[in-house]
Amino acid sequence: KSLPVIAVDGPAAAGKGTLAKCLADALCLPYLDTGLLYRAVGRLMLDGDLDPATQSGEQIAAALRPDDLKRTDLRTPDVDRAASLVAGDQAVRQALVHTQRAFAAERGGVLDGRDIGTVIFPDADVKLYITASVRTRAERRYMQTGGSVDAPDREARISEVEAALTERDRADTSRSAAPLRMAADAVKIETDTLIAEQVLAEAIRIVKSVL
Ligand code: C5P
For ligand 1, atom 10, name the residue with the nearest CA: 84
Burial of 9 (0-12, 13-18, 19+ CB in 10 A): buried
Rounded to two decimals, what is the model's pTM?
0.96
Segment 114-135, tens digit of pLDDT: 999 999 999 999 999 999 999 9
CA of 152 to the centre of ligand 1 (A): 32
CA of 190 to the centre of ligand 1 (A): 20
Better-predicted residue by pLDDT, 106 or 51: 51
CA of 202 to the centre of ligand 1 (A): 24
For ligand 1, atom 8, name the residue with the nearest CA: 35
> What is the best residue among 33, 96, 114 to mutate for testing ligand 1's pocket, by most ligand atoms within 8 Å of CB?
114
Nearest atom in ligand 1 to the alpha carbon of residue 172 is 12
CA distance 117 to 178: 11
CA of 83 to the centre of ligand 1 (A): 7
Give the contacts of 179 (CB within 8 A, at least 6 positions apart): 114, 115, 172, 173
Q: Which residues are paired to 126 by β-bridges?
A: 6
Give this complex's ipTM: 0.99
* pLDDT score recorded for residue 2: 77
* Residue 41 CA neighbour count, 13 Å, CB half: 28
CA distance 104 to 56: 27
Segment 157-197, tens digit of pLDDT: 999 999 999 999 999 999 999 999 999 999 999 999 999 99
Segment 2-14, tens digit of pLDDT: 799 999 999 999 9
Residue 155's pLDDT band, with cuts at 50, 70 and 90, is very high
For ligand 1, atom 5, name the residue with the nearest CA: 35
Please name each of the domains of the chain with its CATH number: 1-30+108-211 (3.40.50.300), 33-106 (no CATH)
Q: Which residues are annotated as a binding site for ATP?
A: 10-18
Ligand 1 pocket (Cβ < 6 Å) reads 12, 34-35, 38-39, 83-84, 87, 113-116, 172
* pLDDT score recorded for residue 35: 97
Q: Assign 3-class secondary structure to 15-84.
A: CHHHHHHHHHHHHCCCEEECHHHHHHHHHHHHHCCCCCCCCCCHHHHHCCCHHHHHCCCCCCHHHHHHHH
* pLDDT score recorded for residue 140: 94
* pLDDT score recorded for residue 146: 92
Segment 42-94, tens digit of pLDDT: 999 999 999 999 999 999 999 999 999 999 999 998 999 999 999 999 999 99
* pLDDT score recorded for residue 1: 60
Nearest atom in ligand 1 to the alpha carbon of residue 16 is 1
Task: To the nearest 10°, report the CA torsion of 113, 195, 138, 175.
Answer: 20
Average pLDDT, the chain: 96
